[in-house]
A and B are shown apart, each in its own frame.
Chain A
């Protein structure tokens, strides 16, 4: 059974810093990996999706990488802003049509 772990559970950094969120998974036979953002009391917003054949995806200040052999993904946020404060979740799926297995998330606070 796939297990997804996110480290750290919480992170607080000053505005303007670059930061990295980590995600690890136990079963490397994944189809894709998605990074989501969740604001308090809100739903999930998809940030980036990396297919198993890809190494990374970029969207604006966000860059996500995938290393299947080591069972790791990272989400890099450049020039952090207070508006980036949220919980970031990573999730993987073993088959394209399967449900997602989620990590517990990293609660990120960007200090103004």
Chain B
């Protein structure tokens, strides 16, 4: 398997613009997670899905952030409007209940810069 795929790898945008980050989980995985990494706060969970249904979005910082998973092989994280404080690396991860370990596998991340 190709692993978790994220696009774009880098995104530079101006404040106020809409940003959409994309993720393709590992085939067969039924859990998908979005995390954000900053120097100040480290890695934090934003939201996660099970079988395409959002389970916990308590980590989403504010209403400007939204996430969807229209099917088992695709998820998006949208920021509208973007602000400079949203600059961070956004990671997507997936896991499976199979085997009982729920080991999470991470994508390469999207580095977002909002100017």
**Are A97 and B103 interface neighbours, CB within 8 A?**
no
Of B12-20, B63-71, B104-112, the stretch lying at the interface with chain A is B104-112
Task: Tell me if B's interface is mostly helix, strand, loop or mixed.
Answer: strand
Counted as pairs of residues, one from A and one from B, with CB atoms less than 8 Å apart, the total is 60
Cα distance, A17 to B13, chains bound together (Å): 45
Identify which of B45, B59, B104, B109 gathers the most chain A CB atoms within 10 Å of its CB: B104
Interface of chain A residues 31 through 87 with chain B (CB within 8 A): 31-32, 34, 36, 41-46, 49, 51
Give chain A residues whose Cβ lies under 8 Å from the Cβ of B50. 97
Interface flag for A14 (CB, 8 Å): no
Partner-B contacts on A (CB < 8 A) = 31-32, 34, 36, 41-46, 49, 51, 89, 91, 93, 96-105
Partner-A contacts on B (CB < 8 A) = 31, 33, 35, 42-45, 48, 50, 55-56, 59, 91, 93, 95, 97, 100-109, 111
